[in-house]
């Protein structure tokens, strides 16, 4: 029988019932016993990787028990207690870790990298920090739905050094979002001790800088953790606002099991071992005569039986059989959203007006659609696309954001988890770099990983010819066409922009919507006045001819049109791709099979751009039909410069006519 020492932690059970006190114990014991089993399995080589939460159980369990089951929790890699306290069947957890079908990711992601709408748990991506911005989005969803719910999100002290932490706290404070930010300060981030991680006394002190109330709690004291979080949650439900809590605790095992703890001073380890949250609580409950040996035995027998049975079931489940179609079908959420036809009644609009009108009509159609961006509210955005929107839709749905692209993309992800669509306006497409991680890692991969759609459109004012230099002129679609999971739209005309934007917003997948700034006010067209949609993946054949196929998109389409106007004798198919992902391969291939010549014009610099991929596609699919090598025309391999003569030299426009004539003469 285990010995019962006097508790080293001061507990005060206040008015908690024995039943609650025991429940807290049971809920801590469960992850501990699972971990002990995992360590054995790890030694036997039966599981691959394990991040231990031993010694930190009071935080996961205290926070989870303090929240309602309907409230979202966003845990990290040491929060097994969140999952078990929410009573996820162990069989499913074990299947997740074994990469079996009954897990949560169909073998596509490991360990705690999953979420579950069924249990209101949103698991992490490896990058740690993005969780906090996603929590902001879920909390914003709660505010907009006025449901009084609180959201809790976890981070290690290491994760607080990431920009995401700072952005998320700032946004939560500016918007008074009901989020409990829980920092588990366990002394180390991998091998890095706290003094090499940050240079302030307490991380909780950072709350002050953001205008957020913050607290320091003994993360090993389950009663303190549970009661304080419960009280704070109750208060936040009534008066929404963010709270920062720093839980002081210690990581008792290696960063992950295989990496050991050699760099941790032994004395420190011994000291924290004596502060074990379960052992001490157990002693306390025994001393209060709340826990008896008999109850303890019952708990432990029950949990161990559950572990053994669930493990047996998980091991018995057949391995996943790799199937390409299954994998490819799960990159994008398929959707049968309704299509709307354009009406006869038209009005001449500039590209910019068409986008504005399309956005406004989508705001009218989707009553909860939220748009977010810098200066988009009263100011109307730097290009004035959202002018007048606040007056019509209110500040709740038309949201000025601080300058924090990462947090806003993450917030959009959180809104999607709440079932709310959003459009994010990048002030300039160039600044998407500051939100790059959540775009390519969170939004793009979420559906494939655990079937959570990222119902987000990111508007990308892009492109050169505006004498704006290297950071306000890029057309950076190729950074994103590379990434499975994203859809990329790039209209060249007002009509297409309006219809495609409506589709982008209807589509449940993450869509990057490129808007060429040089076309905003220079291109006009008659556009149907009603709300209408245009299908993705359908290129437009702008001109029909016999001698050559010209393939382009965005400003390139207009450069090609100008060139053809200047050279009326050239008989060409001119294809405007309109969407780059999905790409209308059939129409490209069929046209080139007909003409036998292909030239691809892209505004971006050449290497690694979409032109290269289309060229390769044509080599593979049309080789025997080609009368000349496929030609790519693109801008120079330099950053895009500012001054007119340099920019003109840089841009592909000046090279296109020659290249086309050369190709025709081949
Ligand atoms: C952006 C990023 N950089 C580095 C890593 C590698 N990494 C994973 S966990 C970790 C330490 C995290 O420390 P902390 O936030 O304190 O959490 P703890 O592991 O201590 O619970 C590191 C460096 C990562 N996953 N993501
Ligand atoms: Mg840490």
186 CB near ligand 1 (under 6 Å): yes
Residue 257: pLDDT band (50, 70, 90) is confident
Query: Which residues, at least 6 apart from 472, have a Cβ–Cβ distance to it below 8 Å?
Result: 428, 430, 466
Question: Per the structure block, which two tokens stand in for 455?
Answer: 């119902």
What is the CA(78)–ligand 2 centre distance, in A? 10
Predicted local confidence at residue 662, as pLDDT: 98
- The answer to whether residues 564 and 572 touch, using CB atoms and an 8 Å cutoff, is yes
Q: What is the pLDDT of residue 1?
A: 46
Q: From the CB of 258, is ligand 1 less than 6 Å away?
A: no
* Tens digits of residue pLDDT in 601-620: 999 999 999 999 999 999 99
Q: Which ligand is nearest to the CA of 161?
A: 1
**What percentage of the chain carries pLDDT values higher than 90?**
97
What does the pLDDT read at residue 47?
Answer: 82
Rg (CA), the chain: 29
240 pLDDT tier (thresholds 50, 70, 90): very high
159 close to ligand 1 (CB < 6 Angstrom): yes
Per-residue DSSP letters for 93-117?
A: HHHHHHT-TTSSSTTSS-TT---BT
Ligand 1 neighbourhood includes 550 CB (under 6 angstroms): no
542-576, pLDDT tens digit by residue? 999 999 999 999 999 999 999 999 999 999 999 99
Residue 276 has pLDDT above 70, yes or no: yes
The Å distance, Cα 159 to ligand 2 centre, comes to 8
Average pLDDT on 306-317 reads 97
**251 close to ligand 1 (CB < 6 Angstrom):** yes
Decide if 517 contacts 381 (C-beta within 8 A).
no
Q: Are 67 and 233 in contact (CB under 8 A)?
A: yes
Pairing of strands 487-489, 511-516: parallel
pLDDT at 3: 66
Query: Would you give the DSSP letter of residue 121?
Result: B
Ligand 2 centroid, distance to 184 Cα (angstroms): 7
Q: What is the mean pLDDT of residues 13-38?
A: 97
Which pTM was predicted? 0.98
- Is the CB of 108 inside a 6 Å radius of any atom of ligand 1? no
Shortest-distance atom of ligand 1 to CA 197: 16
Answer yes or no: is pLDDT of 423 > 70: yes
Tens of pLDDT, residues 356-369: 999 999 999 999 99
In this structure, the number of other CB atoms found within 10 A of the CB of residue 481 comes to 20
Burial class (CB in 10 A: 0-12, 13-18, 19+), 558: buried
Over the stretch 619-651, which tens digit does the pLDDT of each residue have? 999 999 999 999 999 999 999 999 999 999 999
Task: Look at residue 391 and tell me whether its pLDDT is greater than 60.
Answer: yes
Residue of the CA atom closest to atom 1 of ligand 1: 127
According to the model, what pLDDT value does residue 2 have?
A: 56
Q: What is the pLDDT of residue 252?
A: 97
Closest approach atom of ligand 1 to CA 56: 21
Unique residue bearing structure tokens 């709740």: 396
How high does pLDDT run on average in the chain?
97
588: which 2 tokens? 């490209």
Separation between Cα atoms, residue 299 and residue 297, nearest integer Å: 5
CA angle 511/517/522 to nearest 5° reads 125
The CA 321 to ligand 2 mean position distance, Å, reads: 37
Q: Is 188 in the pocket of ligand 1 (CB under 6 A)?
A: yes
Distance CA 51, CA 254 (A): 8
Distance 156 CA to ligand 1 centre (A): 8
Band of pLDDT at residue 45, cut at 50, 70 and 90: confident
Report whether residue 78 contacts ligand 1, using a CB cutoff of 6 Å: yes
Residue 4 has pLDDT above 80, yes or no: no
pLDDT of residue 663: 98
**Between 222-238 and 57-66, two packed helices, what is the crossing angle to 10 degrees?**
30
| Closest C-alpha to ligand 1, atom 20 | 189
Express each pLDDT in 479-505 by its tens digit. 999 999 999 999 999 999 999 999 999
Tell which atom from ligand 1 comes closest to the C-alpha of 437. 1
- Residue 590 pLDDT level (bands cut at 50, 70, 90): very high
- Annotated active-site residue 472? The verdict is yes
Percent of the chain exceeding pLDDT 70 equals: 100
User: Whose C-alpha lies nearest to ligand 1, atom 13?
Assistant: 189
Question: What value does the mean pLDDT take over residues 372-377?
Answer: 98
Active-site residue, selected from the candidate residues 77, 255, 472, 558: 472
Handedness of CA 578, 582, 583, 587 (dihedral sign): negative
Instruction: Give me the pLDDT at residue 419, please.
Output: 98
Per residue in 574-588, pLDDT (tens digit) is 999 999 999 999 999
């Amino acid at each position: 029988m285990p010995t019962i020492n006097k508790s080293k932690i001061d507990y005060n059970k206040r008015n908690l019932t024995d039943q609650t006190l025991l429940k807290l114990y049971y809920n801590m014991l469960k992850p501990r016993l699972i971990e002990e089993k995992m360590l054995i399995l790890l030694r036997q080589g039966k599981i691959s990787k394990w991040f231990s939460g031993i010694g930190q159980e009071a935080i996961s369990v205290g926070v989870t028990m303090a929240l309602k089951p309907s409230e979202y929790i966003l845990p990290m890699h040491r929060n097994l207690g969140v999952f078990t306290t929410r009573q996820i069947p162990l069989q499913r957890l074990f299947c997740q870790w074994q990469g079996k079908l009954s897990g949560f990711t169909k073998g596509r992601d490991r360990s705690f990298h999953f979420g579950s709408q069924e249990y209101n748990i949103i698991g992490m991506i490896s990058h740690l920090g993005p969780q906090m911005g996603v929590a902001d989005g879920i909390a914003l969803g709660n505010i907009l739905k006025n449901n009084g719910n609180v959201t809790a999100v976890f981070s290690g002290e290491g994760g607080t050094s990431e920009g995401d932490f700072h952005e998320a706290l700032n946004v939560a404070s500016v918007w008074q979002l009901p989020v409990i930010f829980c920092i588990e300060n366990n002394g180390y981030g991998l091998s890095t001790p706290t003094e090499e991680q940050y240079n302030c006394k307490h991380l909780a002190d950072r709350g002050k800088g953001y205008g957020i109330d913050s607290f320091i709690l003994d993360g090993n004291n389950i009663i303190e953790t549970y009661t304080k979080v419960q009280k704070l949650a109750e208060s936040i439900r009534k008066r929404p606002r963010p709270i920062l809590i720093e839980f002081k605790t210690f990581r008792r095992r290696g960063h992950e099991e295989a990496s050991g703890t050699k760099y941790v001073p032994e004395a420190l380890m011994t000291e924290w071992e004596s502060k074990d949250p379960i052992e001490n609580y157990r002693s306390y409950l025994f001393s209060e005569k709340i826990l008896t040996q008999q109850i303890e035995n019952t708990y432990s027998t029950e949990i161990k039986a559950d572990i053994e049975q669930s493990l047996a079931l998980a091991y018995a489940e057949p391995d996943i059989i790799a199937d390409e179609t299954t994998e490819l079908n799960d990159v994008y959420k398929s959707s049968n959203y309704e299509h709307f036809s354009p009406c006869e009644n038209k009005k001449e609009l500039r590209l910019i007006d068409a986008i504005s009108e399309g956005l406004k009509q989508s705001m009218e159609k989707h009553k909860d659609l939220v748009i977010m961006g810098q200066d988009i509210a009263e100011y109307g955005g730097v290009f004035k696309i959202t002018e007048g929107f606040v007056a019509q839709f209110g500040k709740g749905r038309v949201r000025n954001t601080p300058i924090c692209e990462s947090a806003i993309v993450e917030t959009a992800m959180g809104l999607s988890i709440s079932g709310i669509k959003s459009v994010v306006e990048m002030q300039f497409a160039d600044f998407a770099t500051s939100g790059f991680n959540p775009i390519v890692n969170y939004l793009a991969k979420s559906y494939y990983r655990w079937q959570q759609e990222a119902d987000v459109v990111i508007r990308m004012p892009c492109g050169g010819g505006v004498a704006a230099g290297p950071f306000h002129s890029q057309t950076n679609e190729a950074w994103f066409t590379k990434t499975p999971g994203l859809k990329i739209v790039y209209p060249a005309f007002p009509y297409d922009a309006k219809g495609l934007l409506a589709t982008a917003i209807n589509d449940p997948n993450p869509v990057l919507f490129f808007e060429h700034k040089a076309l905003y006010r220079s291109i006009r067209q008659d556009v149907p006045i009603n709300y209408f949609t245009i299908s993705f993946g359908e290129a437009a054949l702008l001109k029909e001819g016999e001698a050559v196929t010209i393939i382009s998109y965005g400003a390139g389409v207009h450069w090609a049109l100008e060139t053809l106007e200047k050279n009326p004798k050239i008989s060409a198919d001119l294809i405007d791709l309109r969407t780059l992902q999905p790409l209308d391969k059939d129409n490209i291939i069929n046209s080139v099979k007909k003409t036998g010549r292909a030239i691809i014009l892209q505004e971006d610099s050449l290497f690694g751009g979409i032109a290269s991929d289309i060229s390769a596609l044509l080599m593979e699919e049309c080789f025997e039909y080609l009368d000349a090598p496929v030609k790519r025309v693109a801008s120079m391999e330099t950053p895009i410069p500012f001054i007119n003569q340099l920019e003109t030299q840089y841009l592909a426009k000046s090279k296109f006519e020659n290249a086309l004539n050369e190709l025709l003469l081949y």
